[in-house]
Structure 1
Amino acid sequence: MTTSLSSVIKKLLVLFLVFSGLYFAQEFLIPLCIGGILATLFLPFCNWMENKKIPKSIAVLACFISLLLIIIILISLLGWKISELLDDLTLIKQKAITAGNGLQQYIFNHLNISITEQFTILKKEQPSYSNIFQTIFGSLVSILASLILVFVYFAFLLYYRNHIKNFLLKLVTPSKREEMEQVIYNATRVSQQYLLGLSKMIVLLWIMYGVGFSIIGVENAIFFGILCGLLEIVPYVGNITGTILTVLIAAANGANPTLLGGIVIIYGVVQLVQGWVLEPLILGPQVKINPLFTIIVLVIGQLLWGIPGIILAIPLTAMFKIICDHIEPMQPYGFLIGEIQIQKKEIEFVEKLKKSIKTKK
């Protein structure tokens, strides 16, 4: 009994030290993890160019330029749609002022706090403009520095990938090297599968949300479609957040209850198609983490690394599951994290769907 209790305490202590290390080393680990995951996404493209006898440095440079172009296109697309949304800012601001005046009057009538006293309280609570400017400037500098590090890690991890792989193989005994090589391959593959699948999913969600919102007459439908699609980066929570924002802004623009109900219905239909059709076809079973642990790792990611932790939680957990599946003492943890085996009827449904798509092609 004493031995088992001591073993549990040691495991909890190791777990605490791991999480403490992840928290305190976040400034180093976040750019490294993002750069590494992006590098795995471009790995097939880089290998293809090198197989065509293109020098490695040129191949890595081409991958780097491609990544920059993708980021610039996404920022330009969002900026274009946000500029259209700002056209309605005056109307939203007027409605917000009206709502604020109504709230002030309500506080005066029910709490007997005059409007002058309310302004005095708010002025005390509000930070100074200099503090706001310093916070914003510091955040922008931090984001820029992290972005530069991401690009640096991305380029060098691609360039030195074989060197790093050989180092990992040297860490194990010769008899275990074949298994280690399989772990490395599966870990990089699951990251590629997740990122490529997520990219395809986001594009399809853009189309479905954009078409749906346009049909029911939502203002700036394309923008909200793009927003809801991009928030798919955060499973479960992201789409709900995007839909709530769409409903709130539509309500601020004077949308009637029918339109607001239509937005909710479109969200439900898209989620149904996504869960039963898109995810089995695009993401596949290897990336799947059961919903319970999806929520758990998202919460832990947010607590440890904030928003980057939420974005990185799923691919890093999928890689961790691959490692657990190949190390015998850790296999129960991989089983616990993984998705429950889908039923025979669901397998038959997915297979029929794949066959019908291939037939149409």
Structure 2
Amino acid sequence: MTITNSSIIKKILLVFLVLAGLYYSKPFLMPLFIGGILATLFLPFCNWMEGKRIPKGLSVFICFLSLSLFIVGFVLLLSWKISDLMDDMALIKQRAVEVCRQVQIFIFNHLDISIEEQFKILKKEQPSYATIMQMIASSLVYIVTNLILVMVYFLFLLYYRDHIKRFFLKLVNISQRKEMEKIMYNSSKISQQYLIGLSKMIVCLWIMYGIGFSLIGIENALFFAILCGLLEIIPFVGNITGTTLTLLVAALHGAGLPVLGAIVLVYGTVQFIQGWMLEPLIVGPQVKINSLFTIIALVLGELLWGIPGIILAIPITAILKIICDHIESLKPYGFLIGETASEKSESGFMEKIKNAFGLNKG
């Protein structure tokens, strides 16, 4: 069987059309996808309550209230720790001014640019106060609007889940409905597993970073532990960003090289434990995507939707793989995205360890 040039061109054009559609429909699709993935997380709890004869509407509202309370509680905790950090803002500002002056002197001595000329360059490049305030206000409006949309989608997707399920079943022939049910079940399951595993990972990172930063005497150690752990939702770059911010603030507080080296040591130790113990044991081989396509998904996610795209990239790619695995014509693409033989053997080895310690129970 030969593949014609026209069929290849059609497939390439289809890919570009899909990517363009995702890019331009970001304001609509991004909160919808986040709300849908959060809804799958609360699906077992909602089904359990309905199994206890709690009315569907009340069960969904309890899930909505639980998610709202979690978000409010987390924001309050973060605000509390930020207020502690703000108490030291005068000292940090003073140290920042000293560092800037040293940088200016270095530039003057090595590049022969006077301090007055440096101020002129900075004044040209620096946005005005009004522009900064406008950017902050628009960012807050954007975040609040999308958060409201996410919560609304979460509420109604959970409430109308049976109706939506019947719609997808009506799209296929009766002979294919069992396969469609399997796709929907596996897709919701993998979203749950990813989010639950990620949540456990973040809690473990909070504990490890909190202990490490406290032992070396970092001020506001709990805040930076929460920050470094929370940024784990942005794969690869999130934890590096959190640690870099910790280093910068510690340096502005006047921390010496031994303390800064200790921060790097804590980061390296935590990353070693995370990569070799926590990820295989807690997250496990739930998201069965090979490393190459994990990177590709993250890069495309950032290009299309920014930071939310990075967060959504892995679960959406995992769901895409499930769909490809259950449709005959798309199975080669599912194979391409999936784990290699060596990765599967490593996953099997970690499953044996989990079984030995009873970590697969429940």
1:23-42 matched pairs, under 5 angstroms? 23-42=23-42
Q: Contact 1:298 / 1:313 at 8 angstroms: preserved in 2?
A: yes
Bigger CA drift: 96-105 or 227-236?
A: 96-105
Distance 2:203 2:307 in 1: 22
Aligned to 2:122: 122
Aligned length: 358
**Residue type matched to 1:80 in 2?**
W
Q: Contact 1:56 / 1:159 at 8 angstroms: preserved in 2?
A: yes
Distance 1:323 1:335 in 2: 12
Bigger CA drift: 240-249 or 18-27?
A: 240-249
Distance 2:111 2:205 in 1: 47
TM-score, normalised via structure 2 length: 0.93
Instruction: Name the Cα RMSD after superposition.
Output: 2.0
Distance 2:104 2:213 in 1: 35
| Gap change, CA 1:175 and 1:277, over 3 Å in 2 | same
Aligned to 1:355: 356
Aligned to 1:186: 186
Q: Establish whether residue 160 from structure 1 lines up as the match of residue 160 from structure 2.
A: yes
Question: Match of 1:285, SS?
Answer: helix
Q: Residue deviations 1:309-359, cap 9 Å, x none? A: 11111111111111111112222222222233446576445523542357x
Q: Residue deviations 1:157-206, cap 9 Å, x none? A: 00100000000011111111100000000000000110111111111111
Aligned to 1:87: 87
Aligned to 2:56: 56
User: 1:141 deviation in Å?
Assistant: 1.6
Q: Contact 2:234 / 2:307 at 8 angstroms: preserved in 1?
A: no
Distance 1:262 1:108 in 2: 33
TM-score, normalised via structure 1 length: 0.93
Aligned to 2:46: 46
Q: Contact 2:95 / 2:254 at 8 angstroms: preserved in 1?
A: no
| Gap change, CA 1:156 and 1:88, over 3 Å in 2 | same
Q: Contact 2:284 / 2:347 at 8 angstroms: preserved in 1?
A: no
Aligned to 1:18: 18
Bigger CA drift: 149-158 or 134-143?
A: 134-143
Q: Residue deviations 1:115-152, cap 9 Å, x none? A: 33332332222223322222222222222211111111
| Gap change, CA 1:125 and 1:59, over 3 Å in 2 | same
| Gap change, CA 1:215 and 1:109, over 3 Å in 2 | closer
Q: Residue deviations 1:38-84, cap 9 Å, x none? A: 11111111111111111111111101100001101111111111122
1:1-361 matched pairs, under 5 angstroms? 4-341=4-341, 342=343, 344=345, 347-348=348-349, 350-356=351-357
Q: Which runs of 5+ in 2 are unaligned?
A: none
| Gap change, CA 1:114 and 1:270, over 3 Å in 2 | closer
**Residue type matched to 1:164 in 2?**
I
**Residue type matched to 1:159 in 2?**
Y
Distance 1:103 1:357 in 2: 56
| Gap change, CA 1:141 and 1:343, over 3 Å in 2 | closer
Distance 2:318 2:129 in 1: 43
| Gap change, CA 1:35 and 1:16, over 3 Å in 2 | same
Distance 1:111 1:276 in 2: 46
**Residue type matched to 2:135 in 1?**
T
Q: Contact 1:231 / 1:239 at 8 angstroms: preserved in 2?
A: yes
* Structure 1 residue ranges, 4+ long, deviating more than 6 angstroms after superposition: none
